[in-house]
Amino acid sequence: MKIRPIHDRVIVRRTEEKKTTTSGLIIPDSATEKPSRGSVVAVGNGKTNSNGDLVPLDVKVNDQVLFTQYSGTEIKIDGESLLVMREDDIVAILD
């Protein structure tokens, strides 16, 4: 299924965190936090400013981003968990 967010919304696939430490210890799921890093899957057209002009988003598909921990709404599409969030919830684009 294809999905396209509207306005200034972005769809992000969370990047899975490592389940083991560098020394080989396995970290249980109960001790890990949800990752706040992901890959942009789809972006909306942009946000309308006070003059009525469409301002395009800074992020684009396949960008690696950092976002605030509790941002977005989790959805399931074809059995895959994705996040829908506003561009304002993204704090950085990783190069």
Sole residue written with tokens 């899957």: 41
Name the residue range of residue 48's domain.
9-16+28-94
Report yes or no on 47 lying in a domain: yes
Number of structural domains in the chain: 1
**What is the per-residue pLDDT for 27?**
66
Closest CA to 83 of 94, 93, 70: 70
**What is the pLDDT, as a whole number, of residue 19?**
63
Q: Profile the chain (95 residues) by mean pLDDT over runs of 10 residues.
A: 87 77 65 74 90 90 90 89 92 91
Confidence at residue 82, expressed as pLDDT on a 0 to 100 scale: 92
Q: Is the overall model pTM greater than 0.85, yes or no?
A: no
CATH number for the domain harbouring residue 43: 2.30.33.40
Give domain status of residue 23, yes or no.
Answer: no
Is residue 70 domain-resident?
Answer: yes
- Please name the residues in contact with 16: beta carbons below 8 A apart, sequence gap of 6 or more: 35
